Amino acid sequence: MAEGAYAKFDGTQALGGVAKSWKRGMLLTNDRNTVVVQDELTFKEKENAYWSAHYSSDFVKNVEISEDGRTAYMYSASAITPVCGRFQSQQ
């Protein structure tokens, strides 16, 4: 297990029966300079899932999405924060 403070959440009921399961984990690591958010979704039927993040442009200077669309990195002036999922720009 990674070192740091973490929390787990079961949000299955919040999705109104669309998903079999939705679990979210958050980890504060790297001396609380890095936040990792991980969602695990299992749908009852094939679905499109949308994940968004709201952030201040004063803090986040750049966002990069990996070629496979499974990881996004948000860069600030002092830290790198990995976020896992499958990402696509909606610009």
pLDDT in tens, 16-53: 888 899 999 988 888 877 778 888 889 898 888 777 77
Phi, psi of 14 (to 5 degrees): -70, -20
Q: Where are the beta strands (DSSP E) in 44-79?
A: 60-65, 71-76
**Residue predicted with more confidence, 81 or 53:** 53
Each residue of 39-70: b (16+ CB within 10 Å) or e? eebeeeeeeeeeeeeeeeeeeeeeeebeeeee
- Read off the pLDDT band of 8 (50, 70, 90): very high
Q: What is the pLDDT of residue 10?
A: 93
Q: What is the pLDDT of residue 57?
A: 67
Q: What is the pLDDT of residue 17?
A: 85
**Residue predicted with more confidence, 75 or 1:** 75
Task: Look up tokens 């200077």; give the residue.
Answer: 61
**Residue predicted with more confidence, 73 or 83:** 73
